[in-house]
Amino acid sequence: MKTIAFIGLGNMGSPMAENLIKSGLALQVFDLNREAVKRLQPLGAKVADSVEEVVQGADTVITMLPAGVHVRAVYLGDHSGAVGLLNLVKPGTFLIDSSTIDPESARIVAEQATNKQLDFVDAPVSGGVAGAQAGTLTFIVGGTDTAFKQARQVLQHMGKNIFHAGKAGDGQMAKICNNLMLGILMSGTCEALNLGIDNGLDPEVLSNIMLQSSGRNWALELYNPCPGVMENVPASHDYKPGFMSQLMQKDLGLGIDAALKSQSSIPMGSLARNLYAYHNANGNQERDFSSLFEFYRSRG
């Protein structure tokens, strides 16, 4: 049986790991936060106390971490003297990073992995916590053709659509473009719903109208930001994440970094990042990103 080491069991990593266990794969898990792994232990996951321990005997490593700085530290080591997993895994171990990070970090890790004759792919995801739970995530993979084929064997247990975006780092670039659009669409959805409510419309009626009209989009269809309109979304549970608002700000920042390099204009994405920066500075960073709706509702 294949043994998988899974590092980063947060909002996304935990349900993804659960689906791997359900598929009959042996799982070893590690997270800096001991609480994060608790749900997985009774399901049969072996809990490790360190990166060094979790990769022992693993054939595949999957990471699901917040940002590039965490991914570089886990794979390459850091200034505290922690050894990166590229120096800890057995020869032939296959490496998958599903975090959303800057393409440059993904390329650096891929290059260092290649230097050690290890295959690495960046495989960020789309679909949110609901998609992670249902095993219907979209994976956007960057890496060689061979590595992509190998990645698909593992990713199919957690997702439905698995795309090959291109070479190392290209999965991250495609994911950044997607989240730039998501940040803009979520802001626009909050704005339109708030305008309707302010002018006497029922948000549920308005949502249904826009869902059958040209304003239809993913946020409106699956992630309505107005409390009470949809049952199983963060908005109806006090904006419990979900996808933390600070992570959306990070992703929009990644879009801005990329645009600076390519000299692209991204006025809408820049505005959305500023809205999230303001919203997060007001204490909403750990709430779901759809809580931006409250920014529009507040009349402070």
Number of alpha carbons in the 13 Å side-chain half-sphere of residue 272? 31
Interface of this chain with ligand NAD, residues 76 to 105, rule: CB under 6 A: 99-100
- Site membership for ligand NAD, residue 247 (CB under 6 A): yes
178 scored as a contact of ligand NAD (CB under 6 A): no
| Region of 60-68, 115-123, 152-160, 262-270 interacting with ligand NAD (CB under 6 A) | 60-68
| Out of 4, 6, 8, 29, the residue judged to bind ligand NAD by CB under 6 A | 8
> Is residue 13 at the binding interface for ligand NAD, with CB under 6 A as the rule?
yes
Q: Measuring CA to CA, which residue among 261, 268, 108 is closest to residue 180? A: 268
Catalytic site includes residue 149: no
Options 175, 240, 250, 261, the catalytic residue: 175
Within the chain, residue ranges assigned H as helices are 13-22, 34-37, 51-54, 68-76, 103-115, 128-134, 145-155, 170-198, 203-211, 218-222, 245-262, 267-279, 292-297
Residue 29 makes contact with ligand NAD by CB under 6 A: no
Smallest distance from ligand NAD to CB 65, Å: 5
Among residues 7, 14, 54, the alpha carbon closest in space to that of 158 is found at 14
Stretch that binds ligand NAD, among 30-38, 105-113, 159-167, 231-239 (CB under 6 A): 30-38
Which stretch in 20-28, 125-133, 165-173, 183-191 sits in contact with ligand NAD by CB under 6 A?
A: 125-133
Q: Which two tokens stand for residue 260?
A: 């600076």
Upstream peptide bond of 242 is cis (omega within 30 degrees of 0): yes
106/206 with CB nearer ligand NAD? 106
**Piece of 20-28, 68-76, 160-168, 209-217 that binds ligand NAD (CB under 6 A):** 68-76
Q: Which residues of 56-65 are buried (b: 16+ CB within 10 A; e: fewer)?
A: eebbbbbbbb
In angstroms and rounded to an integer, the radius of gyration of the C-alpha atoms of the chain is 20
**Contact positions vs ligand NAD (CB under 6 A):** 7-13, 30-33, 36, 64-66, 70, 73-74, 99-100, 125-126, 128-129, 242-243, 247, 251
Residues designated catalytic: 175
